[in-house]
Structure 1
C-alpha cells in the first residue's frame, strides 16, 4: 500500500482526538474500520505510530515524525488545491454555458431539483453526485469538483465549510416518524416520542449531530433508544414495513406503499435543507435561480405528502423558505 494524503489525515485526526473512539466519531467511521486502517498505515510505515492505553493513545517516536510532516504537508496541499481552483474559476468564469454539477445527500429533493434545473436551463449539462457525508459533498464544492451542494443540517447546526461557501436555506422540515401501515399508532394524526420508547429505530447515516440530537430528544421524553439501525433508505423502508423498526424521516418523504408518516408531538427534531456554492465560482452567477428552483422543488415535495400539508397549516415556521437571495 502506498501512503496517501488521507492516511496522513487519519493520523492527524487520531493524534488530535487522543483516542481511536473519538477519532472514529470525528471521521464518521466505525471504530473497527479506523483500527484496521491504522494497522495498514503502520505496516506501510514500518512500525507503530501510537501506543494504546486505557486512557487513549500516545504518539511513538515514529508517530511524532509522521505527525510533524503531516502538519506541514496537509495545509500545503490544501493551499495548492485552493489556488488551483481559484485560477480555474478565474479562467472559466468569464464566459461559456452554465453547467450544474449538483451534489446531495440522500433525500427526496435532489431529483426534484435536477428536474427543475433541466427544465429551466435546457441544453445546459446537469450531473449529480451523492454521498451520505455532508462534509464530502461540501468539500467537493470547495475544491471546484461540484457547483452546488444540496444538504441538510439538524436544527440550527451550521453546515460544513460555513465560512468558505455561500449558503441559502431551501426549507425547514420537522422530522416525522415512519411506521408500517398496520402499526397500532398508524391511525394517529400525531405521535408522542415517548409512545415509541420500546421501538427500535431506523435512519440513514450522516456526519452531523442528528444522531446525538435524536438521543437527547429521547432522553427528554424519558427513555433511551433501544437500537438504531443506520442504513440506506431502501433498508430503512424495509425494516419499517416488516415491523422491525420505526423510521426517522424528513416530512417531505414521499408517500410509499405499506407505510405512513406521522408528525412527532411538539416537533422535537427538525431539519434545514440548504443549498451551498463557492462565492468565487461561476455557479455564483446562477445561484439565485438555483436557490429559487430548489425551494420550488421543496414545495412540490411537501405538497405530495397530505399529512405534511395539513401539519403545515398550523406551523407557519416550517416549509419552503420564501425569500430568494439577490
Structure 2
C-alpha cells in the first residue's frame, strides 16, 4: 500500500482525539474500519504508531515522527490546492466536469444546469453499472465526480478514499403496465406481487439481497428475475412479461405506471462522490448544490410523489449531509 494524504489525516485524527473510537466518530467511520485502516498504515510504515489501552491511544516514537511530518504536509497541500484554484480562476481556461453515473436519474438535469450556468465548461459523462469502477476512476483522476445509488443504509466501499454526500433518499417503487390489475392503487403490497416475474437493471452491492429479504419478510420467494438495461426493463414490463423495481423519479412512459410499495420495504440513496485531494474537491459544493437542484427538477413530472414527500419528510432531499471520508445513513465518510 502506498501512503497517501488521507492516511496522514487518519493518524492526526487519532492523535488529536486520543482514541481510535473517538477518531472514527469524528471521521464518520465505523470503528472496526478505522482500526483496519490504521493496521494497514502501520504495516506500510513498519511499526506501531500508537500505544493503545483502555485509557486511549498515545503516539509511539514512530507515531510522533509521522505526526510531525503530517502536520507540515497537510497544511502545505491545502495551501497548494488553494493557490492552484486561485490561479485557475484567474485564467481563461474553462472549468472541467467529468461525471460518472450509475443508472442516475439526475445526471441529465445536472449536466443541463451546469452547461447553462457555465457555457464554457468542459463537461463529459461516463456510464457504468459498477459503483466501485466509478469510485476507482475518481480516485485515479480519470473522473471528477461519481453519481451512484446505494440500498437502504449501506455505504460505498471505503477502499478508494472518496468523500460521499447524500443527494436524496427515495422509496423504491414498482413499474407496472397500466392494464395491470393493481395499477389503479396508489400503493401496492409486495406480497400481492408474489406471482409476478421481475426485471431489474444490473448492478452491484446489496440491492438484490435486500429485495430477496423484503420478499421473504412478505412470505414468498420471487419468481424469475430478468436482467436488462433500462430500455430492456421498460420493454419487458410493456410486454406484460414482468414487473420492475424502479426509482421514484423514473420518467413517465406511455402505457406504464409507477406505484409505491406499501410500507416502503426498500429505499434507494443517491450519492455524489469525489476525492478530497483532487482539484474537483474545490468545486464540490457547487456541484452538490446543482445536484440537489437537479433532483428537485426531477420531481416536477411526479406531482403525486411530491405530495407524498411533503407528508413523509424522512425521504427526499435532506440537504448537503456528509456520506463520506462516510457518515452513517445520511452520509458516509469512506476515508
TM over 0.5: yes
1:306 CA displacement: 2.7
Preserved contact between residue 261 and residue 307 of structure 1 (Cα < 8 Å):
no
SS in 2 for 1:319: coil
Superposed, 1:28-43 pairs within 5 Å as none
Superposed, 1:279-294 pairs within 5 Å as 279-294=276-291
Structure 1 residues 125, 320: closer, same or farther in 2, change over 3 A? same
2:107 equivalent to 1:110: yes
Preserved contact between residue 302 and residue 319 of structure 1 (Cα < 8 Å):
no
Instruction: Give the one of 193, 198, 206 matched to 2:195.
Output: 198
Range with bigger deviation, 305-314 or 288-297: 305-314
**Runs of 4+ that moved beyond 6 A:** 89-92
Cα distance between partner residues in 1 of 2:281 and 2:82: 15
2:226 equivalent to 1:257: no
Residue 273 (structure 1) aligns with: 270
1:310 CA displacement: 2.7
Instruction: Give the one of 202, 218, 221 matched to 1:221.
Output: 218
Cα distance between partner residues in 2 of 1:200 and 1:294: 34
2:96 equivalent to 1:132: no
1:175 CA displacement: 0.2
Preserved contact between residue 192 and residue 264 of structure 1 (Cα < 8 Å):
yes
**Normalising by structure 2, what TM-score?**
0.68
Cα distance between partner residues in 2 of 1:249 and 1:235: 13
Preserved contact between residue 92 and residue 282 of structure 1 (Cα < 8 Å):
no
1:322 CA displacement: 2.3
Superposed, 1:126-165 pairs within 5 Å as 126-161=123-158, 164-165=161-162
Cα distance between partner residues in 1 of 2:143 and 2:82: 17
Greater length-normalized contact order (CA 8 Å, ≥ 6 residues apart)? 2
Residue 243 (structure 2) aligns with: 246
Cα distance between partner residues in 2 of 1:225 and 1:273: 25
Cα distance between partner residues in 1 of 2:84 and 2:217: 50
C-alpha RMSD of matched pairs (Å): 2.1
Spell out, residue by residue over 1:288-310, the C-alpha distance to the aligned partner (whole angstroms, 9 max, x if none). Answer: 01001101111111222233123
SS in 1 for 2:273: strand
